[in-house]
């Protein structure tokens, strides 16, 4: 059987971290087995679905590089399929019309909750042999319900959780078409997963309880039941569920916040899945290794520190042109143009080693393009009246120096020697004068990159 997996988000919000991992695992499973990955947009909830959300999801997938072989397919464009299957179930007696009103159902639910029992449909309109149904009310539009089997159990071997078994007595008759005729989630999923030939349904943990109903419907339709893999959820850093006001942010927010997609992907891959002691790997490697057997069934807490560590790693190792393009954009956002000298690639080659965040990296190197304003504390501390004459003398030497790293280095170290100083005594004031702060890579390297004219001018401005 050919492997076909799917990612089926509902466009009611952006693509968040949990959805991204679900998509990643489905994508990787298809890749691993030479199958197809389908993107299906579950937009049957007209009230809450928006085109903006669709776009946000597409953008997120695109940024992460989770390419789909088919789709995006929209459920709203597949109405005739659902209608056909609905008719099939109605005709075969696996579904029936129910005239119970919403209010009626609400009252029922309230009563059941108060009695401490599981809220469920009471089966009022469920046709039964020898049962006489109530008289059909004149002005109510009926919903269609699936006639769930009443006895026995539904069980399946979940590919991550193992055997799961739920008694049919726990299940009531779900509404599969609303009174306006539109099909509901559980039914659309069943029709789509079977018609699209999905072989492995990889989805969030929260769907475990929908699975037995879906299996019953698939059986009633006479279709093949796919394999299921239910991924546990991703918790916030504090162990709490992610919610809108609590950590559930769009994956695009991570882009904004200075993360590389490579880092997010690698991090997500290791959240709930493992391959021995391997921690750092690219997506090609991941797709080769990925399997459902090594997914943890328990929930995982999101850990920003580890993400930062991976981000630092990828900042160090990705293609320098990619990094340059990214940082150039981030500098733009800071109002800094990196189009002039020094070449950003040269700067990044020196600075990428020390960064763990793209925004941080961009703001750290901004002083190559915009003269920094030094903090008065640093100026006071390092640019002392004793050192100024030394710097003045060095400035003169620098003017006659060939602008190469070795020569610059020589000037700095001779200054140290000639004045019998400790290296930092010279390096620190230099740093403050050149970059505005007391931390930077080797001053000679910074000087080499900054350029002669700029270096001379920046030093001079402190010696007037």
Binding of RNA by 423 (CB under 7 A): yes
3-state secondary structure 223-286: CCCCEEEEECCEECCCCCECECCEECCEHHHHHHCCCCHHHHHHHHHCCCECCCCCCCCCHHHH
Q: Least distance from C-beta 12 to RNA, angstroms?
A: 7
Question: How many Å apart are CA 444 and CA 208, to the nearest integer?
Answer: 61
Closer of 205 and 262 to RNA (Cβ): 205
Choose the stretch contacting RNA; rule: CB under 7 A; options: 28-36, 78-86, 245-253, 423-431.
423-431
Residues paired with residue 4 on neighbouring β-strands, in sequence order: 36
Task: Provide DSSP, 104-169.
Answer: HHHHHHHHHHHTTS------TT---TTPPPPPPPTT-PPEEEE----SSEEEEEETTTEEEEEEGG
Figure out which of the listed residues 65, 93, 119, 222 binds RNA, where binding follows CB under 7 A: 119
Binding mask 176-195 for RNA (x = CB under 7 A): --xxx---xxx---------
Task: Kindly identify the residues of this chain, within the stretch 199-238, that bind RNA according to CB under 7 A.
Answer: 205-210, 232-233, 235
Cβ-defined contacts of 342-346 (< 8 Å, 24+)? 342/368, 342/449, 342/450, 342/451, 345/320, 345/321, 346/449
Binding of RNA by 79 (CB under 7 A): no
Q: How many CB atoms lie within 10 A of CB 46?
A: 9
Closer of 179 and 397 to RNA (Cβ): 179
Question: How many Å apart are CA 226 and CA 231, to the nearest integer?
Answer: 16
Choose the stretch contacting RNA; rule: CB under 7 A; options: 81-89, 217-225, 301-309, 384-392.
301-309
Binding of RNA by 270 (CB under 7 A): yes
Closer of 392 and 414 to RNA (Cβ): 414
Number of amino acids touching RNA (CB under 7 A): 86
Closer of 113 and 339 to RNA (Cβ): 113
Figure out which of the listed residues 443, 449, 450, 459 binds RNA, where binding follows CB under 7 A: 443
Closer of 48 and 345 to RNA (Cβ): 48
Closer of 257 and 332 to RNA (Cβ): 257
Task: Kindly identify the residues of this chain, within the stretch 240-269, that bind RNA according to CB under 7 A.
Answer: 240-241
Task: Kindly identify the residues of this chain, within the stretch 348-387, that bind RNA according to CB under 7 A.
Answer: 353-354
Residues near 234 by Cβ (< 8 Å), separated by ≥ 6? 17, 18, 21, 242, 271, 272, 299, 300, 301, 302
Figure out which of the listed residues 92, 150, 384, 439 binds RNA, where binding follows CB under 7 A: 439
What is the β-pairing status of strands 234-235 and 300-301?
parallel
The encoded tokens of residue 195 equal: 């018609």
Q: Least distance from C-beta 165 to RNA, angstroms?
A: 6
**Smallest Cα–Cα separation from 317: which of 352, 285, 367?**
352
The sign of the torsion formed by the CA atoms of 256, 262, 263, 268 equals positive
Q: How many residues does the chain have?
A: 464
- Specify the 3-state DSSP secondary structure of 201: strand
Closer of 143 and 221 to RNA (Cβ): 143
Q: Least distance from C-beta 74 to RNA, angstroms?
A: 11
Q: Least distance from C-beta 329 to RNA, angstroms?
A: 23
Binding of RNA by 73 (CB under 7 A): no
Closer of 278 and 386 to RNA (Cβ): 278
Task: Kindly identify the residues of this chain, within the stretch 302-321, that bind RNA according to CB under 7 A.
Answer: 303, 305-306, 308-309, 312-313, 316
Closer of 221 and 234 to RNA (Cβ): 234
Binding of RNA by 26 (CB under 7 A): no
Closer of 280 and 337 to RNA (Cβ): 280
Closer of 117 and 340 to RNA (Cβ): 117
Q: Least distance from C-beta 270 to RNA, angstroms?
A: 5
Binding of RNA by 175 (CB under 7 A): yes
Task: Kindly identify the residues of this chain, within the stretch 129-168, that bind RNA according to CB under 7 A.
Answer: 140, 143, 161-167
Residue 67 CA to chain centroid, in angstroms? Answer: 14
Q: Least distance from C-beta 243 to RNA, angstroms?
A: 9
Question: How many Å apart are CA 2 and CA 34, to the nearest integer?
Answer: 8
The encoded tokens of residue 344 equal: 């950003």
Place of tokens 């971290």: 17
3-state secondary structure 308-371: HHHHHHHHHHCCHHHHHHHHHHHHHHCCCCCCCCCCHHHHHHHHHHHCCCHHHHHHHHHHHCCC
């Amino acid at each position: 059987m050919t492997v076909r997996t799917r990612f089926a988000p509902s466009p009611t919000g952006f693509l968040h971290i949990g959805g991204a991992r679900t998509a990643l695992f489905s994508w990787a499973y298809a890749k691993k087995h030479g199958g197809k990955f389908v993107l299906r947009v579950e937009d049957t909830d007209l009230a809450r679905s928006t085109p903006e959300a669709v776009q946000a999801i597409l953008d997120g997938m695109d940024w992460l590089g989770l390419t789909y072989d088919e789709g995006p397919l929209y459920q709203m464009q597949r109405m005739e399929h659902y209608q056909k299957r609905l008719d099939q179930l109605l005709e075969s007696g696996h579904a029936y019309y129910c005239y119970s009103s919403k209010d009626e159902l609400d009252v029922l639910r309230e009563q059941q909750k108060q009695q401490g029992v599981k809220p469920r449909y009471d089966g009022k309109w469920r046709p039964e042999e020898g049962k006489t149904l109530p008289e059909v009310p004149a002005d109510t539009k009926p919903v269609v319900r699936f006639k769930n089997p009443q006895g026995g159990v539904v069980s399946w071997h979940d590919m991550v959780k193992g055997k799961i078994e739920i008694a049919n007595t726990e299940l009531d008759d779900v509404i599969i078409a609303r009174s306006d005729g539109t099909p509901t989630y559980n039914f659309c999923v069943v029709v789509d997963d079977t018609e699209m030939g999905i072989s492995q349904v990889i989805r969030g943990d929260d769907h475990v309880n929908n699975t037995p109903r879906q299996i019953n419907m698939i059986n009633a339709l006479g279709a093949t039941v796919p394999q299921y893999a239910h991924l546990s959820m991703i918790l916030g850093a504090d162990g709490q569920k992610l919610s809108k006001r609590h950590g559930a942010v769009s994956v695009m927010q991570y882009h904004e916040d200075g993360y590389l997609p490579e880092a997010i992907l690698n991090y997500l891959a290791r959240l709930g899945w493992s391959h021995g002691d391997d921690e750092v790997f690219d997506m090609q490697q991941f797709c080769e290794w990925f399997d459902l057997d090594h997914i943890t069934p328990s929930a995982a807490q999101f850990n920003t520190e580890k993400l930062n560590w991976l981000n630092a790693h990828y900042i160090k190792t990705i293609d320098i042109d990619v990094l340059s393009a990214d940082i150039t954009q981030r500098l733009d956002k800071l109002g800094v143009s990196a189009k002039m000298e020094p070449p950003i690639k040269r700067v990044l080659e020196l600075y990428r080693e020390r960064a763990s965040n793209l925004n941080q990296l961009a703001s750290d190197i901004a002083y190559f393009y915009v003269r920094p304003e030094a903090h008065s504390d640093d100026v006071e501390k390092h640019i002392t009246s004793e050192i100024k004459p030394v710097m003045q003398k060095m400035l003169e030497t620098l003017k006659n120096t060939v602008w190469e790293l070795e020569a610059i280095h020589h000037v700095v170290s001779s200054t140290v020697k000639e004045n019998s100083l400790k290296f930092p005594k010279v390096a620190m004031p230099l740093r403050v004068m050149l970059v505005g702060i007391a931390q930077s890579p080797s001053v000679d390297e910074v000087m080499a990159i900054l350029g002669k004219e700029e270096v001379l001018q920046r030093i001079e401005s402190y010696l007037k």
